[in-house]
Amino acid sequence: MPAVQLTARPRPAASYRDCLRKCARCGVAYSNGRSRPTLIYEDPLDNLPPPLRPGALDLLERSMNVDNRSNKRAKFGFIRSEDAVTWTIFVGLQRSIPFALPAICRALFDLSIEQPPELLLWGASVEGGEGGRAVEERLIRISDHLGERARSRSEPDVILDFGPAGLVVIEVKYQSSNDHRERANWAPYLDERRAFDQPRLAQSSGLYELVRNWRFAHDLAGSRPFLLVNLAPKRTLETTAGRALFERSLGAKENGRFLPLSWTDFLGVVEEQEVQRPPWWDPYVESRSLRS
């Protein structure tokens, strides 16, 4: 890769195309930062283990937030991409260890389940079967009811729908912190008192993504048991401002729970399963520093 002398502050790279340091032959580049540059792949699929590349870009094109699809695809090629980690871990579990997801959810969430779930990422069904499409349609109806724009809908990172046994919605954080906002369109998500015992506390928490995800989980589950999981590094969970306010806003729900869960604890339960993990699993987890 040829050396590039940076004499002025360059524009941040939003994609491989924007990078000043790249190797066309290798299809890799580094972002334009002077320190700790990010590795970026020209082909976003190169950021995934080879067995998991089929279907990834198709799913990105079906994600619920239409306006964000092109940005999501470009960022998928960043070595630190949260979406690429989400796809690799959850699709990897579903495809390589089919009965791991029910076992993990039984161990972590105390759900009485046996069969693999309908898996949705960013509001789109991974397998695209009848059951997954039905969940997609319910999400769109909820979004419409909440008054979201059709091209800019909320898209939960992960949905595990186990049918009558229950529902798990996961807000994933890899190297970013939980979204914190003071000004946002809170009202549509807080107008259901059965979802939030104390809506003002929910807004005071500033945790806009978690509030939206809780409302979607609540409405999607109906009378079924459900969990909202915040899967994140330990340091993120320990430093999330407003988390206590958010938890207090939920009250004691009969069928819903919120669970902060570290990557370390999640991976520990995965690796306790008495099944052979695929060859790419341990190198990938190590390369992305998911246990830190």
More confident: 216 or 113: 216
Domain ranges for the chain: 82-287
Q: What is the mean pLDDT of the chain?
A: 93
pLDDT at 43 over 70: yes
With contact defined as beta carbons under 8 Å apart, do 216 and 142 qualify?
yes
CB atoms within 10 A of CB 196: 23
User: What percentage of residues in the chain have a pLDDT greater than 70?
Assistant: 97
| Alpha-carbon distances of 33 from 21, 29, 90, rounded to whole Å | 10, 12, 31
> What would the pLDDT profile of 148-169 be if each residue is shown by its tens digit?
999 999 999 999 999 999 999 9
Specify which of 14-28, 42-56, 87-101, 104-118 reaches the highest per-range mean pLDDT: 42-56
- Can you point out the beta strands (E) in 31-90? 39-41
pLDDT at 217 over 60: yes
Span 271-275, average pLDDT = 81
Question: What pTM value is reported for the model?
Answer: 0.94
pLDDT at 123 over 80: yes
C-alpha to C-alpha distance for 292 and 290, rounded to whole angstroms: 6
More confident: 55 or 102: 55
| Sheet of 167-172, strands arranged across | 124-125, 118-121, 158-161, 167-172, 226-232, 256-262
